[in-house]
A and B are shown apart, each in its own frame.
Chain A
Amino acid sequence: MFAAMPTPVNDPSHGFCRDCLTFQRGAGLRCSACGSPRLARHPELYSLHIAHIDCDAFYAAVEKRDNPELKDKPVIIGGGKRGVVSTACYIARIHGVRSAMPMFKALEACPEAVVIKPDMEKYVRVGREVRAMMQALTPLVEPLSIDEAFLDLSGTERLHGRPPALVLARFSQAVEKEIGITVSAGLAYCKFLAKIASDFRKPRGFSIIGQAEAVGFLAEQPVTMIWGVGKAFAATLEQDGIRMISQLQHMERGELMRRYGTMGDRLYRLARGQDDRRVVPDHDAKSVSAETTFDTDLASAADLVPVLRALSEKVSARLKKAGIAGRTVVLKLKTHDFKLRTRNRQLTDPTRLADRIFQTGLQLLEKETDGTKYRLLGIGVSDLSDAQRADPPDLVDLQARKRAMAEGAIDALRDKFGKKAVETGYTFGKGRNAHPPEDMER
């Protein structure tokens, strides 16, 4: 069907139907072939090539796919009574449920919601399937998280026999058909605007921001739309009377840089729709970590240590799977009043052993178990390198090699008989806290 098509041209009245992919001429509101209202039309439709793709309510969508009974019910993915909302489906969102909202609040807003504990492994698996489909379109896929990525589709027109806009529309259809979840896509000439675009008409969205309209479009947006402007920086700008991007568009680069340093330069450029960041395929991970929010606040070492052990083992398992190791151990705690404490310690050599991560984390934790109640505990390693030089033999610690070998044996048993086939005394029989649900992991 596509082979017979004429080369598409940029014409404001030209476009295509996102459902049947038929070309449209004229200004009709519905597809001339199938009658669908989902038409893509844009003066620059066929000259843009940077895309951002974001799965819609990803975790919830996967759960709905796997259990059709949930289809018309509000679904919230999140951990325990005390956890937070990881993802809310669009029905739950109508009731005011938002991600990162504490679960009790979410349930106040939407008492009939079905709450599902996250099954990270499943989401990672589905996320990988989606990513593989992206990589079939272009090698330049830059994942931002498990369910979103930038794609640079420039130069792929001949390969696919159609321009990026159509490739993208077909991709969205294919994901729906083959994987059973929906995505939203944004198409623009730079990453900054592509990301904004994909967020524009979720779910099943397809938005385009062209070069000609960029400045006018941005003028009407708040400064928080700019990548890098968080709560704190927005407050600083607000103090200076800057709330809308249009205000930035009227300021000089020098003035902005004087006030806000390098961030000023970024404000200047992004406000004008100038973003020359390239799509970089492999962003290496900077750290590997695991964390959990408790059902009730914990303060004692007796309660915290088993959790630390379980999380250390999880981090270690991931390092081993990825063939990497980390040299700095980072402990993360969140107090009952939401204050974050991170403590880190550098080792002389990279490690990937659960025991080493745990023992180092334990020393850091000991100093923090001062009666403070914690709602969250996390452990991780950063300063990553390949596993080649991890955990070298030690002159002094003659037990180190034995412990490493014991850990290897435990790993092998777990591979064969499941995660709980072998447990240390730290976690054995310690119940839910020592086997935290896999919520809010990064």
Chain B
Amino acid sequence: MRVILERSNLLKSLNHVHRVVERRNTIPILSNVLLHADGASLEMKATDLDLEVNEATAANVEQAGATTVPAHLLYDIVRKLPDGAEVMLKTDEDGNAMSVISGRSSFRLQCLPQSDFPELSAGQFTHNFRLESAAVKTLIEKTQFAISTEETRYYLNGIFLHTLEVGGKLKLRSVATDGHRLARAEMDAPAGSEGMPGIIIPRKTVSELQKLVDDPDVPVTTELSDTKIRFTIGSVVLTSKLIDGTFPDYQRVIPTGNDKQLIIDRESFARAVDRVSTISSERGRAVKLSISDGQVTLAVNNPDSGSATEEIAADYSSDPIEIGFNAKYLLDVAAQLSGSEAKFMLADAGSPTLIHDTADEHALYVLMPMRV
């Protein structure tokens, strides 16, 4: 293999691809990126066996061929080459090493044969649809923070993407929960998504996808079956296994009878929560909200260091209520709200509370209160 291309093109593609490679690997080939030069392009591919990203970029191919080299190493080399440089990648005749030559710099990297590189066979996709990258961003970002990290509940370690009919219209929904909070985003279902299976997209795939959809002009083509999903964003193709599990019936936990309505300025609420929670360094300490006519008092009590309270004005006229929440969860939700006001629907101190985004009727959050 012998190929010459611009550093910037190589860097951009490697940047997309190399992140998939785990820093620590017990299987050597998984540390490598597959390079495949053919026609007028160089294709790069990396995988962790659950997720695969590949991208092709324009290149001057003098001799077609393929090999694999350590992904992070190649990325670091290319990153440190000067701007505007041209890079030549050239394998030895025996194929055991590859040279990276640019200007007066020259590197030799050990190769592993491309035939050892695992293929994530995608199989047949049953559904396929297109979404604007902004839509993908919304589906991810509104819900990502609520994904569970608890391995024991592997079926919560991702975003549940599914369609369902709401008021006679088919909607595409993303939902994530860790048992303490739940986040739901929704939009009109795109053509082609009808009848798709409900799928759980793993956390790592979600976060890679999020990094790939930063260009608002490039639409995202989604193909899926009940075991795999593939996103094509311009020249990048991300293929991933799906979580093999059943997402719980989340609709049952979204309360419908909460009748105490609290409307509060999002910004000042978030700042106040942040301020009072300073008193407890311990993760997961509760903030107590004492809600009464036109006012919310936030209080944090830390037996080891002291206490804090803050009052903020609010729109509330139901019976007074005291309820506690994990400070971090409140801040996470507040950070997702796009409107200037947050609307809380409360029942009592022990029942799930609903939070609406006043500017986005499709987003919805549920928080489980804490004992205070």
Contact = CB atoms under 8 A, between A and B. Distances in A.
B370 A389 contact: yes
Interface in B112-157: 148-153, 156
A348 B150 contact: yes
B179 A396 contact: yes
Contacts of B350: 393
Among A346, A360, A396, A397, residue most surrounded by chain B Cβ atoms (within 10 Å): A396
Interface stretch (B39-47, B245-253, B306-314): B245-253
A394 B152 contact: no
Interface string B227-264: 00000000000000000000010101100000000000
Contacts of B178: 348
Interface string A310-347: 00000000000000000000000000000000000111
Nearest to A345: B151
B156 A396 contact: yes
Contacts of B153: 396-397
Query: How large, as a class, is the contact surface on chain B?
Result: 20 to 34
Contact of A393 (B148, B177, B368): B368
B284 A389 contact: yes
B313 to A, nearest CB: 30
Given A348-B148, A348-B179, A395 B352 contact: yes
A398 interface: yes
A396 B152 contact: no
B366 interface: yes
Among A360, A388, A393, A395, residue most surrounded by chain B Cβ atoms (within 10 Å): A395
A242 to B, nearest CB: 36
A257 B149 CA distance: 41
Interface residues of A, number: 17
B271 interface: no
A347 to B, nearest CB: 6
A388 B371 contact: yes
A396 B152 CA distance: 14
B180 A394 contact: yes
A389 B179 CA distance: 14
B370 A395 contact: no
B269 to A, nearest CB: 22
A388 to B, nearest CB: 7
Given A392-B371, A394-B368, A348 B250 contact: no
Contacts of B181: 395
Contacts of B150: 346-348
A13 interface: no
Nearest to A359: B152
Given A392-B368, A393-B368, A398 B152 contact: no
Interface in A250-289: none
Contacts of B180: 348, 392, 394-395
Interface in A379-413: 388-389, 392-398
B87 interface: no
B185 interface: no
Contact of A397 (B179, B182, B352): B179
A393 B369 CA distance: 9
Contacts of A346: 150
Interface string B33-62: 000000000000000000000000000000
A277 to B, nearest CB: 24
Nearest to B369: A393
A397 B253 CA distance: 10
Contacts of B250: 396
Interface string A333-375: 0000000000001111100000000011001000000000000
B301 to A, nearest CB: 12
Interface in B255-302: 284
A392 B250 CA distance: 18
A383 to B, nearest CB: 11
Contacts of A345: 151-152
A396 B368 CA distance: 10
Contacts of B368: 392-395
Contacts of A397: 153, 179, 248
Given A388-B371, A389-B370, A395 B179 contact: yes
Contacts of A395: 177, 179-182, 253, 352, 366, 368
Contacts of A349: 284
Contacts of B151: 345, 363
Nearest to A329: B152
A359 B150 CA distance: 13
Contacts of B156: 396
A345 B151 CA distance: 8
Contacts of A363: 151-152
Among B150, B152, B178, residue most surrounded by chain A Cβ atoms (within 10 Å): B152
Contacts of B352: 395
A396 B370 contact: no
Nearest to A348: B150
A336 B250 CA distance: 46
Nearest to A394: B179
B83 to A, nearest CB: 43
Given A348-B179, A395-B177, 6 more contacts: A348-B178, A389-B371, A392-B370, A394-B180, A394-B368, A396-B156
Closest 9 CB pairs of A and B: A394-B179, A396-B248, A395-B253, A396-B179, A348-B150, A395-B368, A395-B179, A396-B177, A360-B152
6 contacts: A363-B151, A389-B370, A392-B180, A394-B179, A395-B182, A395-B253
Interface of B: 148-153, 156, 177-182, 248, 250, 252-253, 284, 350, 352, 366, 368, 370-371
